[in-house]
Amino acid sequence: MQIFDLSGRTALVTGSSMGIGNALARGLGQAGARVVLNGRNTERLEEAAEALRAEGADVGVLAFDVCDAGAVQEAVDRFEAEEGALDILVNNAGMQHRAPLEEFPVEAFERLMRTNVESVFLVGQAVARHMIPRGQGKIVNIASVQTALARPGIAPYTASKGAVANLTKGMATDWARHGLNCNAIAPGYFDTPLNAALVADPEFCTWLEKRTPAGRWGRVEELVGACVFLCSDAASFVNGHTLFVDGGITASL
């Protein structure tokens, strides 16, 4: 269906050398987009890009620290000037730190907020400054099931992902009038490097399988359809929405 076709569009995906970001980049490429991978480790990015190119994708690399305002603006401006328009942005870069809230290190809290919230603002703003004059653009922020639910030991992460959902609403409120669609995807529990400690914990896995109506961990490729939809013309009147892809965990007690 042409309404889902991303041919001729360029998509920047932050934090995309591995995990969810890499899966989303692969899916956007399969939908026809030119994909630009982002991260701080150039070697890892090049390896990821080569793997996707071997599958037939059109892939570029743009290395910068999403928490460095100057680096973000310089990289985005340079790409727009030298490589062309960024039509799609997927703000995926994020981190986790687990500790009881009463013992949570201040420096870890600050680092988590910079990575999970400030980066969405910085990269979103830098890209939107180019999208707005063109009158179109798609921004998809990666939230979490923790946008709506809390669990012991990750209170700051929960706060950060709640902020991502509300920042997404703010982006839509400010930028929809300029032709931008700003939405979020909230993944449930997926088998990713970020969740490696939980995947390796039999007790947690047993709990998760009982707690999730689908009865299992999610697979990263199961996020692709939601991302392609939100990045396509099929979502032309969807704005400020957070789409939960969580196996039903937020729908049940």
Strand partners, 81: none
**Separation of alpha carbons 62 and 82, rounded Å:** 12
Q: Is 157 designated active site?
A: yes
Residue 214 is which amino acid? A
Q: What separation in angstroms does the CA of 11 have from each of 37, 73, 170?
A: 9, 16, 22
Nearest Cα residue to 147 out of 125, 122, 120, 124: 120
Among the listed residues 157, 175, 190, 217, the single catalytic one is: 157
Question: DSSP string of 89-144?
Answer: EEE---------GGG--HHHHHHHHIIIIIHHHHHHHHHHHHHHHHT-EEEEEE--
The two three-digit tokens of residue 164, written as one number: 């991502």
Q: Kindly tell me the burial class for residue 166, based on how many C-beta atoms sit within 10 Å of its own C-beta (0-12, 13-18, 19 or more).
A: middle
Residues labelled as active-site residues: 157
